[in-house]
Amino acid sequence: MKHKAVIIGGSAGSFQVILEILANINKDFPLPIFLSLHRLKHIRSGFLEALSLKSVLPIKEPFDKELIKSKTVYLAPANYHMYIDSGGRFSLSTEPPVNHSRPSIDLSFFSAASKYQNKLIGIILSGANKDGAEGLKQVEKFGGLTIVQDPSESQIPTMPTAALKVTNVDHTYRTKQIIDFLNSLR
């Protein structure tokens, strides 16, 4: 397979989309999937459990410096930034929020783009702010594949629209198309 990893950023309105994707992805989907999602500060548990109930792939919050494995979904822990290191490990950080967000979608995307370059697929979903737009632009810059959730389908289109503004994306997809696309990767 040409690609080595998938990274997804989402905020308000993205939870159902993520659930759909994780529930309908092929159970032998071979790549690691990184989820950098905004969450309420005080809701630390429950979110992961809700996703793992539906997910056909194992999903976990990575520990700092944990080695990245394929066929696994990784969720950025609440209140930490999640980086992908060049050596194939996660790094967590409690640096101040960026654009009021921790995890910051941009920071996760920057690090993943630098590590996987043209072998990364970056996806931006529904959300109420601009986080992720610069990150997706970076994925494009390194030759990765970029997808944005169709703003007309997004519950809150601010984030997809912001990403579309700065990136010449490869695909603007509805949820169903995102799933079909991922499942068609060879």
Partner 1 sequence: MALTRADIELFLKTLKEISTYDLSDYSENSLKRRIEKLLLDNNTNLQGLIYKISSNKQFVEKIVRDITVNTTELFRDVKTWHKIRYRILPKLAHLEKINILHAGCSSGQEVFSMLILLNELNLFDKTNVYATDLNSEMIEKSKKGLYKFRFNLNYLDNYDKVIKENPFNFDEIRDVPYENYFHIDKDLDIIKMKDFLIKKPTYAVSDLVKNENKFYKKYDLILCRNVLIYFNNDLQNRVLINFHSLLNDNGFIVVGVHERILGEAEEKFIKKSTFYIKK
Which residues are near partner 1 by CB under 8 A? 61-67, 77, 80-81, 83-87, 89, 91-95, 107, 110-111
Distance CA 156, CA 123 (A): 15
Question: What's the closest the beta carbon of residue 94 comes to partner 1, in angstroms?
Answer: 4
Q: Nearer to partner 1 by C-beta: 74 or 173? A: 74
Residue 23 token pair: 């529930």
Residue 90: φ, ψ to 5°: -85, 150
Alpha carbon distances (Å) from 159 to 4, 39, 44, 113, 167? 25, 15, 23, 19, 12
- Choose between 134 and 153: whose C-beta lies nearer to partner 1: 134
Known catalytic residues? 11, 38, 131
Is the CB of 24 or the CB of 93 nearer to partner 1? 93
Residues 6+ apart with CB under 8 A from 99: 106, 129, 130, 131
Provide the minimum distance between the beta carbon of 108 and partner 1 in the complex, in angstroms, as a whole number: 9
Minimal distance, residue 89 CB to partner 1, in Å: 6
